[in-house]
Amino acid sequence: MARRYEQLFQEIKRAIREVDVHQLYQQLRSGRRPVIIDVREREEWEQGYVPGALFIPRGYLEMRIEEEVPDKSTPIYVYCAGGVRSAFAAKTLEELGYQNVYSVAGGFSAWKHAGYPFVTPRQWTREQLQRYSRHFLIPEVGEEGQAKLLDSKVLIIGAGGLGSPAALYLAAAGVGTLGIVDADVVDLSNLQRQILHTTDRVGRPKTESAREAITALNPDVEVIAHDVWLSSQTILDVIRDYDVIVNGADNFPTRYLVNDAAVLLGKPVVDGSIFRFDGQVTVYKPGEGPCYRCLYPEPPPPELAPSCDQAGVLGVLPGVIGVLQATEAIKLLLGIGEPLVGRVLLYDALAATFRELSVERDPECAACGPNSTLTVETIGQIDYQQSCILPVRQTAAD
């Protein structure tokens, strides 16, 4: 049996193309960035891997390769621990129609012995491997993306209708730190739409209720409670350490305040709003698209923009918009897809339709334009509850 296996292995080696680890290293140094596939088992992968390698255990190769590498003319370098499994894998790939496949002789052992750099992946617990297994299967996320999510920090403004679904889905996705800003308490009228909270938590602080719900859903997530009313004196300190801001505020002073602070600190904002049966979501990313003031230089009169408390809202509507906000936040954190930068997505629940509007930066914008008057001092001097308007810069001509 052993002799028969050795004969088969030698036949396979004669039928495929091999390179050594030095040739693979030169490919990486050249900047060509070929596809590198690690066909070892997870226990081996966790000891380290070649930088940029895709982890596809040998038993899953036929199942996943066409999704990971759809172009069959792509150069592919396959390695295992010592060069045996990779040889069989290379033969399989050729039989599947891949035209430029190379088995790396000596495998990862030879790579390490040569002193070439390798990456030690994040160590996942058994529970995490199960919890995030569906993310691991997506090429755009995978283990690297999931690790990035766990290391990310998202601030959610408001634990209400929009903040509730956004927080739950970001927590479920494994965003490692969620900041929740809300100084209010849970009210019975909230429960028609604010799914973070439950009847037995009526009267408790919303941040406390949010922490309880999020921790029960995913104990990997750290919840930082900000039991404050955002003001020009507190805003910069609150948002400074977060990667993305999800804005579910229901009033104009907070929207302008968050926008100005985010522009100043270069923080992307995923903004959502709802009214009766209509909702919208967009992304304000400093330097890449318009900010909130580009679209709305000044707030409308109160009678033209009543709050949900005054006008009402369909209870399920915030779920749609909040989930879209969570989706946009994850895209920003992972650097994938096309975020809604310079685009406003409008949803009409009664007609069950989505529309998209293109929006551009305002060259005269007081916040993000070239003549912006926005500074730390400016924010600190504005009473956003009384006036959301930034001062106009005075010039010599004035």
Contact 197, 161 (CB under 8 A): no
Contact 267, 320 (CB under 8 A): no
Rounded to whole angstroms, how far apart are CA atoms 79 and 20?
A: 10
What SS3 class is residue 26? helix
Rounded to whole angstroms, how far apart are CA atoms 151 and 324?
A: 21
- For residue 154, the number of C-alpha atoms closer than 13 Å in the C-beta half-sphere is 33
Domain ranges within the chain, ordered by starting residue: 2-121, 152-381
Q: Which CATH architecture has domain 2-121?
A: 3-Layer(aba) Sandwich (3.40)
Token pair of 350 as six digits: 């009664």
Contact 256, 378 (CB under 8 A): no
For 297, counting Cβ atoms within 10 Å of its Cβ (0-12 exposed, 13-18 middle, 19+ buried), the class is: middle
What number does CATH give the domain 152-381? 3.40.50.720
**Which is nearest to 204 in space by CA: 185, 190, 187?**
185
pLDDT by position in tens, the chain (length 398)? 566 778 888 888 899 999 999 999 999 988 777 899 999 999 999 999 999 999 999 999 999 999 999 999 999 999 999 999 999 999 999 999 999 999 999 999 999 999 999 999 888 999 999 999 999 989 899 988 999 999 999 999 999 999 999 999 999 999 999 999 999 999 999 999 999 999 999 999 999 999 999 999 999 999 999 999 899 999 999 999 999 999 999 889 999 999 999 999 999 999 999 999 999 999 999 999 999 999 998 877 655 555 556 678 999 999 999 999 999 999 999 999 999 999 999 999 999 999 999 999 999 999 999 989 888 888 888 888 877 777 765 443 43
- For residue 259, the number of C-alpha atoms closer than 13 Å in the C-beta half-sphere is 31
